[in-house]
Amino acid sequence: MRIPARRQPGEGMTRIEAQSWSPQPRIQPGIPALVEKIIRAANREHPADGVMRAELKAQHGLSRDDGARVSKAVFAYFRWRDWLDESKQIRQRIEHALELAERYALKPESFTDEDIIARAVPGWLPTVMAVTGAWVRALQREPSLWLRARLGRGGVLAEKLGDCSVFGAGPLADALEYRGLSDLFRTSEFHAGEFEVQDLSSQAVGLICAPRPGETWWDACAGEGGKLLHLSDLMENRGLIWASDRVAWRLARLKQRAARAGVFNYRAVAWDGGPRLPTKTKFDGVLVDAPCSGIGTWHRNPHARWTATAEDVKELSDVQQRILSHAAGAVKPGGKLVYAACTLSDLETTVVVQGFEQRCPQFERLAVSNPLVPGLPPSGVLSLWPQESGGNGMFVAAWVRTTG
């Protein structure tokens, strides 16, 4: 099985040719067996990305480039799974998946919309959302690696790291797409807290929240703290942010990340999403980045397409509505409530919004602008699509509390 090396553009190539250039690599003999082992072990209870992280960590002497080849092969297999002949040996299927990925990078028009929609996503998906050719085509591309520089430092960081392009102007000048080959987690800039690896759409959520220095915010489903670190940066490390999650190890990871980033204006506390809130504090703003089906991340995590179900979407919609309603009680009059989810299904987006507004009439829809597509009129709800910006699919809605 030939596993392509990480692509490195040659002289005289167009950008798309450069991205698809694949010299014959020198790889460790055990790599094809490792790819096969990860694919066989991946299932609903053991997602491929988690299995792969554990297996790569257990390897001794595996180079970073070979680790990248393993990742590329595993994700290509699940991205192109329904094009593969199940009667073939698994290594032949992996090879075919890599060939399909290379063909798609060079000639995406050789795949029809009908074929892409029929094979690249599960059959139940059209029952919960509108599925378009443009979106599914975006799922079949390899994802971009996005960085968030410290406030106002995007241009400086891009020069220091190299191989970076700045996404936009203003606040988006701190959003960088990295195309280099360096291990960013080993750089002095990373250890100095000069940047975070954060998806572009997640950065957009922080900009939509727009917290101000000195305010008090609550990141109700903080996880490992990616959005909290952004909120703190926008607040210039002033004011206070409460961070809660139902899983203790995520908050422990947040503590490590915050220390490296020099973020100290936060307080972490466990919360299970129930009616008993972790504090009696009334906040200037509450962010509910709720647990979701993750449909918006399927280009980055293709294995999840084949483990999620329509039943998951329904159950998570109920969870999201409960968490949002409970967290809303902590918003003070005049304060802001932001709901975000990296999903695009109707049940987890518009249905959640409609249900919340029926239950909580004291909140008024707040029109917000899409920071990734300047010039569009403000809207009460935003759907961020990967084919438009290159980030994850993301849904955002915002309200202001009008009464006590």
Known catalytic residues are 342
Within the chain, how many helices (H) and strands (E) appear?
15, 12
- Other CB atoms within 10 A of residue 290 CB: 24
In 262-385, which residue ranges form alpha helices assigned H by DSSP?
310-328, 350-359
d(CA 262, CA 190): 12
Q: What are the residue ranges of helices labelled H in 107-243?
A: 113-120, 133-139, 154-161, 188-191, 200-209, 226-234
CA-CA distance, 404 to 362, in Å (whole number)?
8
Copy the structure tokens of residue 275: 């009616």
Distance between CA atoms of 286 and 221, rounded to whole angstroms? 10
CB atoms closer than 10 angstroms to residue 169: 8
CB–CB of 239/213 below 8 Å? yes
> What is the C-alpha to C-alpha distance for residues 20 and 182, in angstroms, rounded to an integer?
19
Burial 194-211 (b: 16+ CB within 10 A, else e): bbbebbbbbbbbbbbbbb
Angle at 17 between CA 29 and CA 140, to 5 degrees: 75
